């Protein structure tokens, strides 16, 4: 994945989500009769600026991490007498609340639209068949066997590993009983399994809830066939070529790709003799794995070779496709599930049940945007929907400086019949700014640590 592709994917992602967010504010403001002075995607000096027939300036600015809609407002400058009726501050409180809420609401509606598109287009997923269960794990203690298909998690039907993961993620940090229904639906067999949780801790940076539970998803057998080679890597230096099948290491048979990887990881700096099948030829090649160090400071070997892709059995793939009307309900349900999971994660992070190390900043967003774009349309649209939900939910939190903070002040005004005092608003602004800057700094530190 190239830097240019990552940069373009990031700009498209942020540009699109910021534009629709600010368009929500803009559209409702115009419908409420508020004069909009500028619609800007990005902050700072404009790279492009044009004044429309409506008198609004449209701009694209140099810093793409946000945007704004500047409206006529007596609190921000003098307003001519003939334009006071078009000032934001002179509009009824319910109209001002609608204008403020429109941005994040449009982000949530965009997610519904994105999911609707995916489910009409068709989503290919892997059937959640258990390949194996780790000995001594929570899943093993429940009696869950390998070879069965997961049908329900906590009473919710699941049709893919993605759905299983999301349902399990909702239980991270909790205690109680996790209910799994698994079996062989083709034969009409199903059995319930109870997994006992006790403040279930999952390091989401290093493992998924599925693997933390001890479940190993089914994967087709992957032979030790070289698919790709890194330029200048140890594998290329040893004479390995794409299509080579590694049969043995130091005379010992290799059962598959993972066995090959494990042997190489355990042999940094050591000379390994590989028995290789190349077409009709049988070759002996020597490779010396380069030494690398992981996050824990442990040494491991690396040769710069990737596996050749294998075909999945057709019966292990499932296409989820719905009609245009059914997809509306599915999109709404998926968006609601993701909103609930986002709010639940924020609450658990505040309570300490989930580590703040899971906060991500612009570097992680850029990496995921680039990776999802490289993986295809389905992955990229899914990422757009998820990020749009995160943006919408975050902006609705009752934190001064965010849309939710403004909504809180306006709700208080609606109840009391008069605005919150300037002194209180300024105090809230300082607290909100300190909170947001702290969160941004923490997210950036997490990004840098991940690098």
Show me where the domains of the chain are located. 1-32+91-122+322-451, 33-90, 124-220+311-320, 226-309
pLDDT at residue 167, rounded to an integer? 92
Give the CB-side neighbour count of residue 298, counting CA atoms within 13 A.
6
Summarised one tens digit per residue, pLDDT across range 269-320 is 999 999 999 998 999 999 999 988 876 677 898 999 988 888 888 888 888 8
Which tens digits make up the pLDDT trace of 30-65? 999 999 999 999 888 899 999 988 889 999 998 877
Q: How far is Cα 227 from Cα 190, in angstroms, rounded to an integer?
A: 39
What SS3 class is residue 56?
Answer: coil
- What phi and psi, each to the nearest 5 degrees, are found at residue 273? -95, 115
Confidence of residue 111 (pLDDT cuts 50, 70, 90): very high
- Give the domain 226-309 fold: Pdz3 Domain (2.30.42)
Greater confidence (400 vs 1) lies with 400
CA distance 264 to 162: 31
How does pLDDT run across 178-222, given as a tens digit for each residue? 999 999 888 888 999 999 999 888 877 778 899 999 999 998 888
Do 124-220+311-320 and 226-309 share a fold?
yes
Rounded alpha-carbon distances, angstroms, from residue 364 to 127, 132, 164, 387, 445: 29, 31, 24, 12, 11
SS3 per-residue string spanning 70-108: EECCHHHCCCCHHHHHHCHHHCCHHHHHHHHHHHHHHHH
At 11, is the pLDDT very low, low, confident or very high (cuts 50, 70, 90)?
confident
Question: What is the rounded CA–CA span in Å between residue 430 and residue 400?
Answer: 8
Does 57 participate in catalysis according to the annotation?
A: no
Share of the chain residues as helix, strand and coil, in percent rounded to the nearest 5: 50, 25, 30
- Listed in sequence order, the DSSP H helices in 310-361 are 324-351
Residue 135 pLDDT level (bands cut at 50, 70, 90): very high
Contact predicate 170/197, CB 8 Å? no
CATH code for the structural domain at 124-220+311-320 = 2.30.42.10
The yes-or-no verdict on residue 1 having pLDDT over 60 is no
Share of the chain above pLDDT 90, in %: 50
Taking each continuous run of H as one helix and of E as one strand, the counts in the chain are: 12, 18
Q: Which of 22, 149, 163, 263 is catalytic?
A: 22
């Amino acid at each position: 994945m190239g830097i240019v592709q990552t940069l373009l994917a990031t700009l498209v992602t942020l540009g699109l989500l910021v534009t629709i967010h600010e368009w929500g504010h803009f559209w409702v403001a115009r419908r409420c009769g508020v004069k909009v002075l500028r619609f800007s995607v990005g902050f700072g000096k404009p790279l492009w600026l044009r004044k429309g027939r409506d008198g609004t300036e449209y701009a694209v600015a140099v810093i793409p991490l946000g945007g704004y809609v500047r409206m006529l407002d007596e609190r921000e400058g003098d307003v001519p007498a003939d334009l006071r009726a078009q000032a934001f501050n002179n509009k009824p409180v319910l109209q001002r609340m609608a204008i403020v809420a429109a941005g994040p609401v449009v982000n949530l509606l965009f997610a519904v639209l994105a999911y609707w598109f995916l489910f009409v287009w068709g989503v290919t997923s892997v059937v959640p068949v258990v390949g194996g269960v780790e000995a001594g794990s929570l899943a093993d203690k429940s009696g869950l066997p390998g070879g069965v298909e997961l049908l329900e998690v906590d009473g919710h039907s699941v049709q893919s590993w993605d759905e299983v993961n999301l349902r399990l993620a909702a239980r991270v940090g909790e205690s109680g009983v996790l209910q799994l229904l698994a079996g062989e639906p083709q034969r009409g067999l199903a059995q319930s399994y109870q997994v006992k949780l006790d403040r279930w801790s999952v390091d989401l940076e290093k493992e998924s809830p599925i693997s933390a539970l001890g479940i190993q998803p089914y994967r087709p057998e992957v032979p030790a066939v070289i698919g790709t080679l890194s330029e200048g890597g140890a594998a290329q230096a040893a004479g390995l070529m794409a299509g080579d099948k590694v049969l043995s290491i130091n005379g010992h048979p290799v059962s598959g790709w993972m066995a090959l990887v494990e042997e190489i990881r355990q042999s940094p700096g050591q000379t390994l003799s590989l028995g290789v099948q190349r077409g009709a030829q049988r070759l002996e090649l020597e490779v010396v794995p380069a030494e690398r160090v992981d996050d824990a400071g442990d040494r491991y070997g690396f040769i710069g070779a990737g596996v050749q892709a294998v075909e999945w059995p057709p019966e292990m793939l499932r296409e989820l496709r719905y009609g245009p009307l059914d997809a509306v309900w599915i999109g709404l349900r998926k968006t609601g599930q993701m909103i609930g999971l986002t709010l639940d994660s924020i609450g658990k992070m505040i309570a300490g049940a989930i580590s703040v190390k899971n906060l991500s900043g612009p570097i992680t967003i850029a990496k995921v945007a680039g990776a999802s774009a490289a993986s295809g349309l389905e992955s990229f649209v899914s990422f757009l929907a998820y990020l749009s939900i995160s943006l919408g939910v975050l902006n609705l939190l009752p934190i001064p400086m965010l849309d939710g903070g403004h909504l809180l002040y306006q709700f208080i005004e609606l109840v009391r019949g008069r605005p919150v005092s300037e002194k209180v608003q300024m105090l809230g602004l300082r607290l909100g700014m300190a909170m947001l800057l702290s969160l941004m700094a923490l997210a950036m530190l997490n990004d840098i640590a991940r690098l």
